[in-house]
Amino acid sequence: MARKDAVAIVETFWREVWMRPQNPDAIDRLVAEDFVITSAGQQIHGRAAFKQWVIEFQSKLLELEFEVIETFQNEAGDRVASRWRVTGRNNGILGTEPDGQPISMVGTAVLAVREDGVLAHNWVERNAWEIYSQLLLKQSEQGVATRQPNSSGGERRDARRS
């Protein structure tokens, strides 16, 4: 596949995997077997693990909508940068209690596109901390029990009293 089509490759990924109707099975033909996503300082290795991550993420937002703000590539066509927005309603995103609160998350992805047109790596930055903080504040104001990380990396429930 010609490198000049790198933007089209990424936009196909967005359209098929993230836009309605979301189709995580499209990952099987759009990303490399050894695909890596780097998000929130963590790496997920392999197509199957990435696909599971996508399914889990999508399950945490009701009425998920994905919008591409802009996408462009470098001169060589092996890197594509894309700004995007995800909206929906909270169904437990970022470990919060599912409460239906509206969410609007923005992010930037830099994707490595192989010569054959398959995605090899995705580096993602998003406003997750701001979303998490806003949800916790709203839930605290409403007296909703929240989940917070504990020292072992698990979660502890912080019961709120009315």
Instruction: Round to whole Å and give the CA distance between 75 and 57.
Output: 32
pLDDT at position 145, please? 60
Mean pLDDT for back-to-back runs of 10 residues, the chain (162 residues) = 77 98 98 96 97 98 98 96 98 95 97 96 96 92 62 42 34
Domains present along the chain, CATH in parentheses: 3-147 (3.10.450.50)
- Residue of 71, 106, 65 lying closest to 85 (CA atoms): 106
pLDDT of residue 106: 98
Q: How far is CA 143 from CA 90, 137, 150, in A?
A: 16, 10, 20
- Residue 143 DSSP symbol: T
**What pLDDT is recorded for position 120?**
98
Predicted confidence at residue 141, as pLDDT, reads 87
Question: Full-prediction pTM beyond 0.85?
Answer: no
